[in-house]
Structure 1
């Protein structure tokens, strides 16, 4: 009997090279081809696969829509387990304000199902139309609205998880407000799997919390002649008592050029250096007046280009604003993909610092790039959380190596500021080497101990995280 006879004999598993090649890439720019691809359509079929893989000693890497920027959803050996077939979305429970969804359900489809019931699913990764619930849980994804609502994890009420040997766990967050029994790490096992990037178990279904849908949403695109003014505006908006942003998204000059193209407005706000996109929401009765005047006054106080401010106050206009935001990473992904044949790709950072220090951190990152003679790239994203995304296009393998050295130097400074190397994308394979910058030896030993307990043979998602 060959070592993969049990796995390879399953109807859900294929060795076909064309299929394996179709699952060999994610958004990271890496390419890895697994030995097999599994495409189950039920939890029972996932269990069968895991039991067979354990018996054969074959590794299994779970994947959703493969929108990972860190290589977490591809594998160079074993089985690539596609969970796209588990795409079911249950009915909304309006009283409990929850919805159940399979790991393969698209995030935006869950949001639309909630909205149809007058409720809001708050996590909103930029890739929501191309990312799955399982993937969002795996890397604890967030998005623009995380400024108000937080990342995915707090909105996961319950999980159905399969361990490496196929054992099924039904986990639910405790309703307790107090608990002092044992170590805090054991209080809520749901948190073992949120952000674990497929290394501890396979999430196959989740129960997700929903919230009242705001009756009013106001979006503002606020351009600035100075990047320093834009970032000072962000800090002031976090602290001002009369505005309550649910997002504060930053675009530097390069990102703004892409946004202009997406808007079809090449002449909009000429000569500006940065922009901040803001959203504010109103309450449930529809009578609450949104603080537009307060926002305009705050913008004026920070030297915004007042005549170029754009207001988005309808559903269609807000969708336009979202497309504008999404155009930035989508465009940079295309530019990075065009350099793969030359050994280059897009390098995407995910670091974050305490939000008042964002300008300082960006200045350091750009200085390191200038000293190394590498492109500075563009910066955009969640300034309200101190969390930008730098996207840098490496033209070839040599430039890629030099850019990664610049990123490493930047991350050391980020950690010294009390920041993190990865705020929402996880670390997958690409950023695993940076884990020791942030996690102490003791923290890494605890993580490895949990991995050994839940996946003693080390078969799940090898190369991710640890």
Structure 2
């Protein structure tokens, strides 16, 4: 094939070996592609990316950009006739400026590694997806990933000041700036954040860092029902307190954690809320938060030191690993107005009963982002119909409650039809117009997002 010959002659890290291409054909969603990619390019320089895209554009070959493959919506799934562009080799932190509180990074940098490097300067990278130890900054930018601290510090996009992006034809552009403020021109940075590799390939990012908090305090409360727990979170929102973390776990999740970890959370209540406050006023803030959460609670506890705080966060960190210990999991992601969080949990419980499936739900309650985890048998060769139908019911529930079908995982392959229902035909036409302008031959991650 002329394209592959030219590619191999232009870029060092090209492989067509069956084992190599099979290893990058899917992501954590577990989606099985139709066929295998023709090749994988393991880029180690920006020029590798530029040459790959320039040739792919010329030959009209689809390219699937890939970070660490931790995505949950099928955004990095690559089938027959595609080339996977693996950006994991672009993994340098090229600079940290402690005065301007910014870092300049390549897309293959692991999120947790950036956070650790920033900590050496008394700073932190605030976005904290659950996959921080294994996911890359580039992947997080592609999906506009979130995490537990988003209730106070915002999602990935709010930390991205500027990007270096290779367009479909191989041109390299820079968007945004190194300053906190800047309104010159259209906000192209925001356009590329969350675009799932469909408009361009991110090869560098300037991100905002935050000071490490002087202190952090944690509170946890148990409740008789998930509705009581959700009501407590809504009551907290009305007080205008500012938690840095506010997480809610339902009864099914609490029970599976006890089963997997040997804990006894369920003896204290049927749902858990875990809150943190940080900063100079954290002690007073957590006291006020604990007071609100404790009004209807069956059990409460607080912590002022790191070790005890970690113990109180243990349940939240172990939620997904505990579920996956006993079954396979379809990890879903919806977001609803905070005022309707109780209705969302109630609706998910109803869907579980109707479809006859096990659903474990936990949420970033501070921003209404709910993760219903639908469990199914490990031996299943394909996604059971009841699981797929429950997922569709959950997306419909989100829209009925005035929410969205994805808060942080992205659209990928899984939610394209639901995106159309959420945004409507006119908005999709605008998406298509932008796509056509930036990728006129449609080579960038085709079939994903929209």
Asked if structure 1 preserves the Cα contact closer than 8 Å seen for 2:78 and 2:84, the reply is yes
Of 113, 117, 132, which aligns to 1:113?
117
Q: CA deviation at 1:370?
A: 1.9
Q: CA deviation at 1:214?
A: 0.6
The answer to whether structure 1 residue 89 and structure 2 residue 93 are counterparts is yes
Farther-moved stretch of structure 1 (399-408 vs 380-389): 399-408
Number of the residue aligned with 2:52: 49
Give the 3 Å change call, closer, same or farther, for CA 335–202 of structure 1 in structure 2: farther
SS at match of 2:216: strand
The answer to whether structure 1 residue 380 and structure 2 residue 362 are counterparts is yes
CA distance in 1, matches of 2:407, 2:41: 30
Give the 3 Å change call, closer, same or farther, for CA 336–25 of structure 1 in structure 2: farther
Of 279, 303, 309, which aligns to 1:282?
279
TM-score, with structure 2 as normaliser: 0.92
SS at match of 1:438: helix
CA distance in 2, matches of 1:63, 1:94: 30
SS at match of 1:208: strand
Q: CA deviation at 1:365?
A: 2.7
Number of the residue aligned with 1:341: none
**Where do 1:390-429 residues align within 5 Å?**
390-395=372-377, 396=380, 400-429=384-413
CA distance in 2, matches of 1:312, 1:18: 49
CA distance in 1, matches of 2:179, 2:264: 53
Asked if structure 2 preserves the Cα contact closer than 8 Å seen for 1:366 and 1:376, the reply is no
Number of the residue aligned with 2:217: 218
CA distance in 2, matches of 1:8, 1:251: 50
Farther-moved stretch of structure 1 (220-229 vs 159-168): 220-229
Asked if structure 2 preserves the Cα contact closer than 8 Å seen for 1:6 and 1:56, the reply is no
**Where do 1:148-297 residues align within 5 Å?**
148-173=152-177, 187-241=186-240, 243-260=241-258, 264=261, 266-270=263-267, 272-283=269-280, 289-297=283-291
CA distance in 2, matches of 1:66, 1:380: 23
- The one-character-per-residue Cα deviations of 1:94-150 (angstroms, maximum 9, x if unpaired) are 111100111000001111111110012110001100100000000000101111111
Of 341, 349, 371, which aligns to 1:366?
349
CA distance in 2, matches of 1:323, 1:429: 32
SS at match of 1:4: helix
CA distance in 2, matches of 1:217, 1:400: 43
CA distance in 2, matches of 1:318, 1:131: 24
Give the 3 Å change call, closer, same or farther, for CA 176–115 of structure 1 in structure 2: closer
CA distance in 2, matches of 1:326, 1:408: 27
Asked if structure 2 preserves the Cα contact closer than 8 Å seen for 1:74 and 1:80, the reply is no
Farther-moved stretch of structure 1 (249-258 vs 97-106): 249-258
Asked if structure 2 preserves the Cα contact closer than 8 Å seen for 1:34 and 1:74, the reply is no
Number of the residue aligned with 1:437: 421
CA distance in 1, matches of 2:3, 2:43: 21
Of 348, 351, 370, which aligns to 2:334?
351
Q: CA deviation at 1:288?
A: 6.4
**Where do 1:63-78 residues align within 5 Å?**
63-77=66-80, 78=82
- The one-character-per-residue Cα deviations of 1:197-220 (angstroms, maximum 9, x if unpaired) are 000000011010011211001122
CA distance in 1, matches of 2:351, 2:174: 48
- The one-character-per-residue Cα deviations of 1:139-194 (angstroms, maximum 9, x if unpaired) are 00010111111111011011000011110001115969796x9xxxx720001110
SS at match of 1:165: coil
Q: CA deviation at 1:323?
A: 5.2
CA distance in 1, matches of 2:23, 2:303: 39
Asked if structure 2 preserves the Cα contact closer than 8 Å seen for 1:163 and 1:202, the reply is yes
Number of the residue aligned with 2:445: 461
Number of the residue aligned with 1:315: 306
Number of the residue aligned with 1:301: 295
Number of the residue aligned with 2:106: 102
RMSD: 2.3
CA distance in 2, matches of 1:333, 1:266: 17
Farther-moved stretch of structure 1 (62-71 vs 85-94): 85-94
Farther-moved stretch of structure 1 (131-140 vs 230-239): 230-239
Q: CA deviation at 1:90?
A: 2.6
Asked if structure 2 preserves the Cα contact closer than 8 Å seen for 1:114 and 1:210, the reply is yes
Structure 2 unaligned spans of 5+: none
SS at match of 1:76: coil
SS at match of 1:90: strand
Number of the residue aligned with 1:340: none
Q: CA deviation at 1:322?
A: 5.0
SS at match of 1:290: helix
Asked if structure 1 preserves the Cα contact closer than 8 Å seen for 2:257 and 2:322, the reply is no
